[in-house]
Chains A and B, each alone.
Chain A
Amino acid sequence: MTTPAIRNDWAVMAIFTVAVLTAPLWLAPIGANYPDLLQKFAIFGIFAIGFNILFGLTGYLSFGHAVFLGVGSYTAVWSFKLLTMNVIPAVILGTVMGGVFAVLIGYVSLRRSGIYFSILTLAFAQMSYNLAYSVLTPITNGETGLQLTQQDPRILDGPAGEGLPSTTLFGLEMSGYSGFYFCAVMLILAFYISLRIFRSPFGLKLQAIKSNQTRMKYTGFNTKPYLLVAFVISGMFAGLAGSLMAVTDPLAGAERMQWTASGEVVLMTILGGTGTLIGPLLGVGIIKYFENIFSALNEATLHAFFSFMPDWLANVMVAISSQFVGEGWHLTLGVLFMLVVIFLPGGVMEGIRRMTAAVRNLSKQKPTELEPKEAEG
């Protein structure tokens, strides 16, 4: 893989920026253009990008990344409760706390590699989850989740009016589309940082660690600090994502730290394409779309969908497909994940790359739309 020119990176950034900011438009045909889902796309996009910096570049598979997400959320909600409803301190503090936890957990976990590293991070995640769930109830409010109340001090804000205050960016309410655009700007920033890391000598060293750590050590590199820095950056991305979750919806629950949440980001990254810039975002899009849209389909909507068929055929189709929607959305996702892992080990990105190659073989001279993605791989 050659290092593409700077100019090319700017093109990537420009296309990415446009794609993110216009998401409400081009997601409309598939029914995914409502603020809550758009916010989720952006937030989990940041989470997955951060995870990919660790897993994609160094090959260290962290199975406890949701800890930093949860820490970021709790920190942000506490900032809303104690300081101000403005989102800037919440986002900064959430990111920093994510980093602090990453230093602590990373310092211990990175003493091992491979499966032992994964198990260590998983153990830390499960410990943190249980702490948040029951032991630290005064700080986390246990299963009920940490919520804003009328009595919170909010020392930087004036006395609260009637009803609960909402999160703001200097007066602009952070719900609905404004919340999405705030997350989108953060996503673009996060993507830019990730792009710079991928293209930097630091990124190259991380990739060298992935391909052969022993050789790196023989050439005189101490790999530990590089790994820890990658881990902390990745943790800060997760902390940022967690604080954004609290920004768009000021509530933090322990389930954000559960191992299933950690597993989800692994799935997203693998589904989309590990080690690619865009891949994790595609994975996020697919999983969140399934979780929110497929889980909401019921038999009535299916009947409407198949209404063009004769009655008996429509009934058969509904009977079959209803197993895969609604509460069965996990099944659909599982099937898709299997197909991708078996036939496209490089994730959706590999599919795109193969398609591009096929198109290019058909007409060698004609440039195609998908080319810029090719350069990112």
Chain B
Amino acid sequence: MSEDKKTSELSRRGFMKVSAAAMAAASTPMFFTKGAWAADFRNNPGNAGSVKLGFNVPQTGAYADEGADELRAYKLAVKHLNGEGDGGMLNTMTNKALKGNGVLGKKVEYVTGDTQTKSDAARSSAKRMIEKDGVLMVTGGSSSGVAIAVQGLCQEMGIIFMAGLTHSNDTTGKDKRRYGFRHFFNTEMSGAALGPVLEKEFGKDRVAYHLTADYTWGWSQEGSIKKYTEQLGWQTKAAVRTPLGAGDFSQYITPVLNSGADVLVLNHYGKDMVNSLTQAVQFGLRDKQANGKDFQIVVPLFSRLMAQGAGANIKGIYGTTNWNWSLTDEGSKAFVKSFGQEYGFPPSQAAHTCYVQTLLYANACEMAGTFYPPEVIKALEGFKFDGMGNGPTEYRAEDHQCFKDVLVVRGNENPTSKFDLLQVVQEVPRAQVEYPADMLGGDLGPYKV
């Protein structure tokens, strides 16, 4: 090319100038960060008129439906915190310090992100919220693997993580963190609640076959259900691991028919559960007899969104859920009403837990009188409240797990509307599902990071 001469000219002329500028420029960002670190804690809002919260939910992937509903609930919670709308559960919550004028007089704003149901993407999204947008708290979930990954990150960064929908024992068990809090129940509680109901309905002499989503939540749920059903005298024929987001489960369901099992336990969630249950029903499992008994399917973690996806296939199937919109206590009614007015349909359990978590965090800040995380954590630890849909609830200080009643539900045989899909069989009291704090191991770590 003929321009070669000109190019080299430029390099000679500009080299010294440019490198001098570079030296000056390269040192500048260090200068900025130094200012940021001088603050007493990360993302201190100081005198700003508003605070930011980070809503990190799956917008794509197997749990996208749950994620979309979580986001709706977060937006509603922000509205209510800022004193807009009808206030929802702010009117029914007990032990409340919130005043309906934001948090500590500051307006609440939010940023959103897509976890893609992948640990990598979720951490990257959470980092963006913390480093770029300056959020004080990150919340979200729908996959325990993601929740645990983000919770670990938040601990390192000194930002509070209010877990959304995450059901694995590990979140508040072996992977628990000082900066992580979970309102949702876990597989241990599901097992303890579901066990007696299964005994009553299906008897003590059953052979179970597990299909398990191959990650922390699936392993955890498989373990808990095995533990409680084997206590009843059930046998476990096999436990087969399936990849998350597999789509087609027929290759896993075919062997079930002739395995000698008479109960299929689906440790799946979201679209995975919709697919595996639909395929199991299409394969005729529910019309079969095995060992002289009717073949049964159990879905230990149920949600209305999944029931909607699975259609008529869920009729009569047992499972547990954290919350259902058909509950008639004041808190649930207030939440269902304002959610319904906003979006035109009732909220899911994922929406409920996320809404409650946001309010609980804001309330803890108000109680502590500061956004300084160690103080907020202390306000949340051991916090007792009511009027938020699950009866009297306590955030246990030792593992940051909420303890409350658990619902055992059954797919409704005669739904009166397209949302009336789950029928509450039993509200299992807190005492029956509570376990000692040291049972699941783990270590919370330090208050100050």
Q: Is A157 an interface residue (CB 8 A)?
A: no
A36 to B1, CA, bound (A): 40
Chain A 160-211 residues near chain B, CB threshold 8 A: 162-164, 166, 175-177
**For residue B152, which residues in chain A have a CB less than 8 angstroms away from its CB?**
147, 164, 251
Chain B 373-405 residues near chain A, CB threshold 8 A: none
The closest CB in chain A to the CB of B131 belongs to A34
Chain B, residues 1-43, CB within 8 Å of chain A (1/0): the string is 1011011111110110011011001101110010000000000
Decide: A371 and B114 in contact? CB cutoff 8 A. Answer: no
Chain A 1-25 residues near chain B, CB threshold 8 A: 1-2, 4-5, 7-8, 10-12, 14-15, 17-18, 21-22, 24-25
**For residue A5, which residues in chain B have a CB less than 8 angstroms away from its CB?**
4, 8
Q: Select one of B8, B26, B110, B119 contacting A144, CB under 8 A.
A: B119
A19 to chain B, nearest CB (A): 9
Decide: A34 and B132 in contact? CB cutoff 8 A. Answer: yes
Pick from B111, B156, B244 the residue with the most CB of A within 10 Å: B156
A312 to B217, CA, bound (A): 47
The closest CB in chain A to the CB of B2 belongs to A2
Chain A, residues 292-305, CB within 8 Å of chain B (1/0): the string is 10011010100000
B79 to chain A, nearest CB (A): 12
**For residue A7, which residues in chain B have a CB less than 8 angstroms away from its CB?**
8, 11-12
Pick from A2, A11, A31, A251 the residue with the most CB of B within 10 Å: A11
**For residue B25, which residues in chain A have a CB less than 8 angstroms away from its CB?**
18, 21-22, 25
Q: Select one of B28, B59, B113, B149 contacting A147, CB under 8 A.
A: B149
Q: Is A145 an interface residue (CB 8 A)?
A: yes
Decide: B131 and A36 in contact? CB cutoff 8 A. Answer: yes
Q: Is B412 an interface residue (CB 8 A)?
A: no
A35 to B134, CA, bound (A): 13
Q: Select one of A17, A40, A251, A327 contacting B22, CB under 8 A.
A: A17
A150 to B444, CA, bound (A): 11
Decide: B128 and A296 in contact? CB cutoff 8 A. Answer: yes
Instruction: Give the interface size class of chain A.
Output: 35 or more
The closest CB in chain B to the CB of A17 belongs to B22
The closest CB in chain A to the CB of B216 belongs to A144
Chain B, residues 437-449, CB within 8 Å of chain A (1/0): the string is 0000001011001
Chain A 342-373 residues near chain B, CB threshold 8 A: 360, 367, 371-372
A191 to chain B, nearest CB (A): 15
Decide: B30 and A163 in contact? CB cutoff 8 A. Answer: no
> Once A and B bind, how many residue pairs between them come within 8 Å at the CB atom?
163
A12 to B368, CA, bound (A): 56
Q: Select one of B26, B111, B128, B241 contacting A34, CB under 8 A.
A: B128
Chain A 131-155 residues near chain B, CB threshold 8 A: 133-134, 142-145, 147, 150
Decide: B119 and A150 in contact? CB cutoff 8 A. Answer: no
Q: Is A273 an interface residue (CB 8 A)?
A: no
Q: Select one of A21, A143, A176, A292 contacting B124, CB under 8 A.
A: A292
Q: Is B337 an interface residue (CB 8 A)?
A: no
The closest CB in chain B to the CB of A166 belongs to B156
**For residue B149, which residues in chain A have a CB less than 8 angstroms away from its CB?**
144-145, 147, 251, 253
Decide: B148 and A144 in contact? CB cutoff 8 A. Answer: yes
Q: Is B164 an interface residue (CB 8 A)?
A: no
Q: Is A374 an interface residue (CB 8 A)?
A: yes
Decide: A327 and B33 in contact? CB cutoff 8 A. Answer: no
**For residue A175, which residues in chain B have a CB less than 8 angstroms away from its CB?**
156
Where chain B touches its partner, the secondary structure class is helix
B37 to chain A, nearest CB (A): 9
Decide: A8 and B445 in contact? CB cutoff 8 A. Answer: no
Q: Select one of A17, A150, A256, A327 contacting B120, CB under 8 A.
A: A256
Chain B, residues 254-295, CB within 8 Å of chain A (1/0): the string is 000000000000000000000000000000000000000000
Q: Is A375 an interface residue (CB 8 A)?
A: yes
Chain B, residues 134-158, CB within 8 Å of chain A (1/0): the string is 0000000000010011001101100
**For residue A147, which residues in chain B have a CB less than 8 angstroms away from its CB?**
148-149, 152
Q: Is B206 an interface residue (CB 8 A)?
A: no
Decide: A21 and B3 in contact? CB cutoff 8 A. Answer: no
Chain A, residues 21-51, CB within 8 Å of chain B (1/0): the string is 1101100000101111100100000000000
Q: Is B243 an interface residue (CB 8 A)?
A: yes
Q: Is A326 an interface residue (CB 8 A)?
A: yes
Q: Is B352 an interface residue (CB 8 A)?
A: no
A144 to B215, CA, bound (A): 6
Q: Is B72 an interface residue (CB 8 A)?
A: no
Q: Is B326 an interface residue (CB 8 A)?
A: no
Decide: B119 and A164 in contact? CB cutoff 8 A. Answer: no
Given known A-B contacts A144-B215, A374-B1, A11 and B11 have beta carbons under 8 A apart:
yes
Q: Is B123 an interface residue (CB 8 A)?
A: yes
Closest 7 CB pairs of A and B: A11-B11, A143-B215, A36-B127, A34-B132, A18-B22, A24-B29, A327-B59
Contact surface of B with A, Cβ cutoff 8 Å: 1, 3-4, 6-12, 14-15, 18-19, 21-22, 25-26, 28-30, 33, 59-60, 110-114, 118-121, 123-125, 127-128, 131-132, 145, 148-149, 152-153, 155-156, 214-216, 241, 243-244, 443, 445-446, 449
Contact surface of A with B, Cβ cutoff 8 Å: 1-2, 4-5, 7-8, 10-12, 14-15, 17-18, 21-22, 24-25, 31, 33-37, 40, 133-134, 142-145, 147, 150, 162-164, 166, 175-177, 249, 251, 253, 255-256, 292, 295-296, 298, 300, 326-327, 360, 367, 371-372, 374-375
Additional A-B contact list (14), CB under 8 Å, known A21-B26, A36-B128, A163-B445: A11-B10, A22-B26, A36-B127, A143-B215, A144-B215, A144-B216, A150-B443, A251-B123, A253-B118, A253-B149, A296-B112, A296-B125, A371-B7, A372-B7
Q: List 10 A-B contacts (CB under 8 A).
A: A7-B11, A14-B11, A18-B21, A133-B214, A133-B243, A143-B244, A147-B148, A177-B30, A372-B10, A372-B11
